[in-house]
Chains A and B, each alone.
Chain A
Amino acid sequence: MKFTDKKTIQIDREPSDLDNFALDFIKILRKHTNYVIVSGYVSILLGRSRASEDIDVVVPKIDFRKFQAMYKDIKKKNFICLNVEDDKSVFSYLEDGVAVRFANKGNVIPNIEFKFAKNKFENIALDESITVKLSEEELKISPLELQIAFKQEVLKSPKDLEDAHHLEKIAESYLDNKMIKKYREMLREFYN
C-alpha cells in the first residue's frame, strides 16, 4: 500500500468478492454522478481484517431525470433495489433522506447502502474524496481523517473504534492529526 500523495493511495491487492461487487456497482454509478464510499468498507479496502455485508455510498443530490437514467442502468446490470422497485418510489425515499439498498438479483448480501448527501460532513467526504488506485480500477473514498473522526466521535461501537484504530495505524505517517482533531470538534458540535 502506497500513499502516493494526499489524494491518492495505490493498493496492489488481490480483489475480494466484496471488492468486485463494489467495482461492478461503481462502474455504473460513475457514468452518471460523482460518488464517495464511506464507513466500514473504507477500512476493509485498506486491509482491515473483517468482512461487511454492505458498502456505504454517498452521492450528491441529483434530479429525478438523472436518477431515472442511472437506475435504469443499474437494473440493466442485474442489480435490484431491496427497498422498493419502481423508480419514483426509490427516488422518493432518497429525497426523504432514507438510504436505499442495491444488491445483485437473487441476493441480499452484499449490498450497497446508497444515499444522497444530506449534511456538511457527507459533502466534505464528496468534495475532499481520495482515490484508491487498484491494479486496473479505482474507487473514491472519504478522507481518512474524516472517517477516523466520525468513527471515534459519532459511531463509537467497538467495531468502529477498531476500524478507526486500523486506519490510524496503517496511515500514521500520512494522516493530518490536526484535521482529525478539527473534524472531531465539528462532529461533536453538530451531533450534540
Chain B
Amino acid sequence: MSFTIENQKERMRFVDKWAEYVKTHSDKDWSRQQNIIINSALKSASMTKEQFFKMKGEKHFKI
C-alpha cells in the first residue's frame, strides 16, 4: 500500500476518534483543545496579500 493511501487512512481514523471525543465530552472540553490548533495556526499565519491570492489561485485583486 502506498504511503499516501496509508496516510489518508490514518488521518481518517483520527477523524473518527476525534469525532467520538467531541460526542462524548462537553463542548467546553473539546473546544478548548480545538482552539489550541486554531488559535496557534492563525497566530503563526504570516502572508502578504499577494502571497495569499497566489496560494488560492485567485487573480481578481489589485496591489
Contacts and interface: CB of A to CB of B under 8 A. Distances in A.
B19 A109 contact: no
B26 to A, nearest CB: 7
A166 B15 contact: yes
Interface of A: 1, 11-18, 44, 46-51, 53, 82-85, 89, 93, 98, 100, 108-111, 158, 161-162, 165-166, 169-170
B49 A14 contact: no
Nearest to B55: A53
The secondary-structure label for the interface of chain A is loop
A16 B49 contact: no
A85 to B, nearest CB: 8
A148 to B, nearest CB: 13
Interface of B: 8, 11-12, 14-16, 18-20, 22-23, 26-28, 30-35, 37-39, 41-43, 45, 47-49, 52-53, 60-62
Nearest to A46: B22
Given A1-B22, A166-B19, A16 B47 contact: no
Given A14-B31, A83-B62, A49 B45 contact: no
Contact of A109 (B8, B12, B42, B62): B42
Given A166-B15, A169-B16, A13 B47 contact: no
Nearest to B40: A51
A172 to B, nearest CB: 9
